[in-house]
Structure 1
């Protein structure tokens, strides 16, 4: 899995999420829906578009075989676009982040269907990381400093880092919508970009998912250290459109739960290569699974309005 982290670090330095403007990236989705004979599978823009298409190609092909319906992979402009598509019925199933999914359920735009498993667990860790040679020894040392974050609706790369900063006594102001009124200067981009900004000394610390900070040995990369960590975040879900019939939702869930190991190996069909999916299995889930994320969102006074920002 470390190859993914290395790939994303390089992509981040080049502006991985900036690829959202490429051909094939969408804010408004196609007109076909599952009920009309086509499944639109939406990918959230957490990694470069071509990379994600390569990752999900066998996944989509397997789903197509199992359900007997054409499956099209779509790359969304942002988390909000994913939920807009699901809510309107022009998207049928999507992979997205925990917080975006929770907001989607709250706004009646999505139903949580599956939870993903990776790195040996069903949950993961958010970190605030800095360089070992920095003068940042505690979260309070970040007062007046510049801090990098992932997408504003990312659980591990924005919400939980902000929650940790707030619990440490720092004022977060209007974050993550902006850093107005905050005790620090916030910069929101993506996991890869935020860690690359730290690497290039553009920020004093980065709030990201732990996965982006790991070296080949599974430990924090050389030269870096964690200021604070938060464990137990439920791994990112897959969600379906509430416009699908109960049978259509069940068909999708059953098919993906029973998917063979080969669908996780990416377009080259070989495990342990750069185009492997970052997760290795899924299990059925619901809103209760993501209650911890909802509680953090409530602590930060966040609502579905956040999806209309940016």
Structure 2
């Protein structure tokens, strides 16, 4: 009997579920575990610090407690959610879609600023490179971030393809750097001819002193991309899900909460977190980057030597 019960518990973990004895309630002694993708390096004073004010504000106004950590990679956060190691995750749009398809994540909220829940990515080149059109990149190299990133991987590939440049056939080399900042630094240091990154990551790197804005030029701008969403594990109890939606959706209106505590991607202050959004927001994204299937992604990684 004991062996049977042990097997049931182990199976629950392997399937990404939450055995009753391990279910988190959000109480002080049972905080909800939050995993954040390492959008800009994932350091303790980086991505985690961006979101601590938000989760601390929710704790003050609702009594829900959190243990906020940054994952080592985009894929580590996806796997953490699917292995039942976190109840909440801040994911890139592509990462969210992957986790949702695997049954590991449901949409909780998306940040909103000036009524918009989208952002932009770009393909950047050096100002004095002589690269003036996408065709000028033929035979040259590009740096991309994590393969699970919308704005530093999928959208740059889509932008090039839309402009008539086949990344697999026409580029001499693709470098996978793991992050927006690393790709921009590779471009700044002359290691590649172009880099894909979000506008927010570019601005942050410039503000932190790591990049000189005057040395870069925007070659291609993306279509609007859904902001990175906050997701919750489907295995949470209905009462915890309802509390999360209510608390996150109203925290910006709560007395005593400073507006600068409501922060999001890149540490930027946002107006609120919209908990009424649906997965329809990601449909346009799916049509834009839908050609990047498993085989295409594998071909890009092979070309990069990853």
Tell me the TM-score normalised to structure 2 length.
0.75
Q: Output the CA distance in 2 between the equivalents of 1:264 and 1:276.
A: 16
Name the counterpart of 1:151: 146
CA contact (8 A) 2:181 2:202 kept: no
Name the counterpart of 1:34: 24
Name the counterpart of 2:7: none
Q: Deviations over 1:213-232 (max 9, x none)?
A: 3467xxx9323221111131
Gaps of 5+ in 2: 1-15
RMSD: 3.1
How far has the Cα of 1:33 moved from its partner? 4.3
Name the counterpart of 2:160: 165
Q: Output the CA distance in 2 between the equivalents of 1:221 and 1:64.
A: 38
Q: Output the CA distance in 1 between the equivalents of 2:127 and 2:85.
A: 47
Q: Output the CA distance in 2 between the equivalents of 1:264 and 1:42.
A: 23
User: Which of 242, 263, 276 pairs up with 2:234?
Assistant: 242
Q: Deviations over 1:253-280 (max 9, x none)?
A: 21111113846646xx9x9xxx983241
Query: Is 1:299 the counterpart of 2:294 in the alignment?
Result: no
Query: Is 1:183 the counterpart of 2:171 in the alignment?
Result: yes
CA contact (8 A) 1:33 1:39 kept: no
Q: Deviations over 1:43-70 (max 9, x none)?
A: 1111332123333333222333444343
CA contact (8 A) 1:148 1:205 kept: yes
Name the counterpart of 1:130: 125
CA contact (8 A) 1:32 1:40 kept: no
CA contact (8 A) 1:148 1:203 kept: yes
Q: Output the CA distance in 1 between the equivalents of 2:35 and 2:22.
A: 13
CA contact (8 A) 1:58 1:264 kept: no
Query: Is 1:59 the counterpart of 2:68 in the alignment?
Result: no
CA contact (8 A) 1:55 1:265 kept: no
Q: Which has the higher contact order (CA 8 A, sep 6+)?
A: 1
Q: Output the CA distance in 2 between the equivalents of 1:88 and 1:69.
A: 22
Tell me the TM-score normalised to structure 1 length.
0.74
Answer 1 or 2: which has greater helix percent: 2
Gaps of 5+ in 1: 1-27, 174-180
Name the counterpart of 2:11: none
Show the 5 A alignment for 1:84-233.
Answer: 84-118=79-113, 121-173=116-168, 183-189=171-177, 190-214=179-203, 221-233=213-225
Q: Output the CA distance in 1 between the equivalents of 2:268 and 2:164.
A: 34
Number of residue pairs the alignment of both structures matches: 263
